[in-house]
Amino acid sequence: PSCQEPKCFLIDDFREERKTLQQLQDYIEAENLRLEREEIHFWSKEIIVRFEYKYCPNLTIIDTPGLIAAPPGKRNAPMQAAAAAVEELVLAKLASKEFIILCVEDVSDWNNATTRRVVMKADPDLSRTVLVSTKFDTRLPQFGRSVDAEMFTHPPPAALGGGEAEGIRLLGGRPFFTSVPSGRVGTDGTSVFRTHDEFKEAVAMRESMDVRELERIVDRGVTPEERAHIGISRLRVFLEQLLQQQYLENVPTIIPLLEKELRTVSDNLASVNKELEGLDMNRLRDRGRTFRENFVSKLAELLKGTVSASGERFGETLADERIRGGAFVDAQGAVLPTEGDIPNAHMRLFGGAQYHRAMAEFRAKVGGLRCPPIDLEQLVNACGVDDVHDGVNYTRTACVVAVTQARTVLEPYLHQLGFRLTHILRRMLPISMHMLQAEGQFMTGHQQFLKRVGSAFRNFVDETEASCRKKCIEDLHSTTRFVTWSLHNQNHTVLRPFLDEMGKSARGGASTLASLSMLTGNAGTATANGAGKVGSKTGGPDGKDSAVDAAAAQHENLMALLEATLWSRRLGTLSEQIVNVLVTGIFEGIRNHFVVNAELKFNCFFLMPLVDTFPQKLRTEIEAAFEKNDVFDVDTVRASLEAQKDQLEAEVKRVEKLQAKFVNIHHNLTVKSAVP
């Protein structure tokens, strides 16, 4: 209020530099000339100028670049790209809902208004837009009839809304019409006006001439409502009233926000002062021990479940978790499919809930793995020669193939599971620190101590995961080193469905014998012999003969089976299928045992040590560090806290000054609005 002459400040990179009006004008013109020489003639960085002036309202004015009307065609592609970039920049500035948009148009037909088209992308109903038609003095002579002037000065809502009349709520109800005399203010030879007062007189004169010219064209006097929308002075009055209304509406809500900000800053300042008073080594050690126990309790709380931390900020969906912690992929790098959805896949989880979801995905994906297909060449290579005979043991062959496949396929998933669960537990460190900070239990400024705690936690997680993974690998190796039929309980049942199905498809002894003879690879002979047996079984008149024939057929079938499984190396289709069924059964037994044991071991030897082993280990490490006096750097912390104290004291003064200013503004506006 005491500034009779305007004080101007140029703000650049958070620095203020006082400038005269002429210096500001020279600076802006120099920037414009610089941009003209650039390939792109505009810049997103703002020129920020602050004014202190008795007659200047307290507001922020953002002057956006002029829109470019680029002609069509491929030859004008650079100009079209520049136009799109300018429009994007302007829309970004208009996006804030608190801003009032001053839309300046230079058209004679409201249906062709290009600037308003862009403005309506940010403000579709024009509810925060003041529409101004400039160069009104040159527009008036273009109207040959009064109806044309009436239509231009009283445009229908449909014309302003681009054909849509419904929902248009233009500030002021209608456009403003302004004219500015041509010529600049200055003392050089090119300036038309020597002083600002001369320019203001010319503006007022031009405004009166516009009113008289409009009255002449429409052949009537303008109404008070029409007069309130003609001229720079009337536009200024409207904007000042609008600004006052905005202040009256917003200041009552701003003052409580400033009070809250002042309380927060004051509390932070008191906390820093308390930190400075407690910079004693014994006190610091006691605080470090308290922080250590609080940190351990927060880890346990995260594992058990909590809502103290924001899932939106700290949680991860399953897709995010796979990106950062790795997915379960096969040997070709493809993500394993899942039969059905993983529970809570789209929820943002952390801590114990996220650990449980990862284990559920491991069970679903790895537990559903199938044995890779085995070709005939692999089976023949697995047969080999025994140390006392050259017969074939197909049970051994199936075991050799199954354990080799199981070890090759399953072991990589242990590494993937360990990496994923390590990622989940490591994420608990920043979350627990945030929770401690939110509850006022944080060791502010003691970065060396915090790094020691964080390093101990990360090292423990890594070491525990490596130890647990080693146990799981040993278990897998023992499972795949020796097949225990009682352990792999699926193995003695896998052949039954297969043989039952084969028996159902067989028709009598002939078909059974023919099927078994496929084991030897001599199907033709078996079928011929089998046919004779069938004839003796079904065609004989005596029942005893039939029974004898059936027993003989069973004996011959048994001999054929023994010949195929003990001596023959000619793998027929049926024998290959039986071996494949055995391999699949052994693989699935190993897989199921692997999944159950991996989950059990990671729960017992990776997750639980974080609760029952890590606290004591952390206590031991911190106490050992206390003995060496290499945890707290008192001098560095003191310097940091004193600098922080200075910043907070300056912030308190700034908020108090701002609060007093808004209280004063609110009082003045309230008194002014109450005066009739």
Give the up-direction half-sphere exposure of residue 535: CA atoms within 13 A in the CB hemisphere: 6
The tens digit of pLDDT for each residue in 53-84 reads 777 766 677 777 777 677 777 777 777 787 78
Q: Is 331 exposed, middle or buried (0-12, 13-18, 19+ CB in 10 A)?
A: exposed
Report the pLDDT value the prediction gives residue 162, as an integer from 0 to 100. Answer: 63
Look at the block and give the residue holding tokens 């004898």. 548
Higher pLDDT, 448 or 71: 448
Among 114-118, 232-236, 558-562, 635-639, which range has the highest average pLDDT?
232-236
Report the pLDDT value the prediction gives residue 586, as an integer from 0 to 100. Answer: 86
Radius of gyration of the chain (CA): 44
Q: What is the mean pLDDT of residues 236-261?
A: 84
Report the pLDDT value the prediction gives residue 570, as an integer from 0 to 100. Answer: 65
Distance CA 262, CA 654 (A): 9
Non-local (6+) Cβ contacts of 618 within 8 A are: 292, 295, 296, 453, 456, 457, 460
User: What percentage of the chain carries pLDDT values higher than 90?
Assistant: 29
Among 40-44, 225-229, 602-606, which range has the highest average pLDDT?
602-606
Among 243-252, 279-288, 323-332, 641-650, which range has the highest average pLDDT?
323-332
The tens digit of pLDDT for each residue in 119-167 reads 888 888 888 999 999 999 998 888 888 898 898 888 888 888 765 666 6
Confidence of residue 676 (pLDDT cuts 50, 70, 90): low
Confidence of residue 596 (pLDDT cuts 50, 70, 90): very high
| Res. 298: pLDDT tops 90 | yes
DSSP 381-435: HHH---SS-----HHHHHHHHHHHHHHHHHHHHHHHHHHHHHHHHHTHHHHHHHH
Q: What is the mean pLDDT of residues 497-508?
A: 51
What does the domain layout of the chain look like in residue ranges? 1-56, 100-230, 250-288+636-670, 375-631
Higher pLDDT, 228 or 543: 228
| Res. 651: pLDDT tops 70 | yes
Q: What is the mean pLDDT of residues 548-559?
A: 64
The tens digit of pLDDT for each residue in 4-21 reads 777 888 887 667 888 888
Q: Cα separations (Å) of 119 from 539, 567, 587? A: 100, 89, 67
Regarding beta strands 129-133 and 176-177, do their DSSP bridges make them parallel or antiparallel, or are they unpaired? parallel
Among 264-268, 292-296, 652-656, which range has the highest average pLDDT?
292-296
Give CA 509 to chain center in angstroms: 68
Return the HEC string of 26-65.
Answer: HHHHHHHHHHHHCCCCCCCCCCEEEEECCCCCCCCCCCCC
Non-local (6+) Cβ contacts of 259 within 8 A are: 659
Of 91, 115, 100, 222, the closest CA to residue 172 belongs to 100
Extract the tokens encoding 349: 């989880």
Report the pLDDT value the prediction gives residue 516, as an integer from 0 to 100. Answer: 46
Report the pLDDT value the prediction gives residue 613, as an integer from 0 to 100. Answer: 95
Distance CA 561, CA 203 (A): 115
pTM of the full structure = 0.57
Report the pLDDT value the prediction gives residue 517, as an integer from 0 to 100. Answer: 47
> Chain-wide mean pLDDT for the chain?
81
Distance CA 326, CA 464 (A): 19
Q: What is the mean pLDDT of residues 201-205?
A: 92
| Res. 488: pLDDT tops 70 | no
